[in-house]
């Protein structure tokens, strides 16, 4: 299973909204509503931000939202803040007990 495709980098000014795309195949993103998104700050473990396409775990800001259409999932960060600067990874269940991650997107707050 090849890695999911994400833009290498996305940037925005404080207060703006940005969207990160995550493109997979019909056997991963397209088939299962099991897309998740993770935030990783340098030197830290990843943190779950979104699961099952659009659900937020308890404690995650509602500035983070997500959706899916066909083989592409998207994460939107609204009201961008300095603390949102990090790497973001999408992931999808790919069937037969396996998972696949995206290549990662570096978010820069200008």
Partner 1 sequence: EVQLLESGGGLVQPGGSLTLSCAASGFTFSTYAMSWVRQAPGKGLEWVSVISGRGGSTYYAASVKGRFTISRDNSRNTLYLQMNSLRAEDTAVYYCTKDISSGTSYTYDAFDIWGQGTMVTVSS
Nearer to partner 1, 47 or 63 (CB): 47
Nearer to partner 1, 51 or 74 (CB): 51
Round to whole Å and give the CA distance between 8 and 31.
25
Site mask for partner 1 (CB under 8 A), range 29-68, x = bound:
-----x-x-x-x----xxxx--xx----x-----------
Q: Are 57 and 70 a contacting pair, CB within 8 Å?
A: no
Supply 93's token pair. 């269940």
- Chain centroid, CA 107 distance in Å: 11
Total number of residues that touch partner 1 (CB under 8 A)? 25
Binds partner 1 (CB under 8 A): choice among 1, 5, 31, 78: 1
| Residues numbered 78-107 forming contacts with partner 1, rule: CB under 8 A | 89, 91, 93, 96-104
Nearer to partner 1, 13 or 96 (CB): 96
Calculate ∠ Cα 69-74-80, nearest 5°.
150
Calculate ∠ Cα 87-110-37, nearest 5°.
25
The CA radius of gyration of the chain, in Å to the nearest whole number, is 13
- Binding residues (CB under 8 A) for partner 1: these are 1, 3, 34, 36, 38, 40, 45-48, 51-52, 57, 89, 91, 93, 96-104
């Amino acid at each position: 299973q090849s890695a999911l495709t994400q833009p290498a980098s996305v940037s925005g000014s404080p207060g703006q909204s940005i969207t990160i795309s995550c493109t997979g195949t019909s056997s991963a993103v397209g088939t299962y509503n099991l897309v998740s998104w993770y935030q990783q700050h340098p030197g830290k473990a990843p943190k779950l931000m979104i699961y099952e396409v659009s659900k937020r775990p308890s404690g995650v800001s509602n500035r983070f939202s997500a959706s899916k259409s066909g083989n592409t999932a998207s994460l939107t960060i609204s009201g961008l803040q300095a603390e949102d600067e990090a790497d973001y990874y999408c992931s999808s269940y790919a069937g037969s007990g396996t998972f696949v991650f995206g290549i990662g997107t570096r978010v820069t707050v200008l």
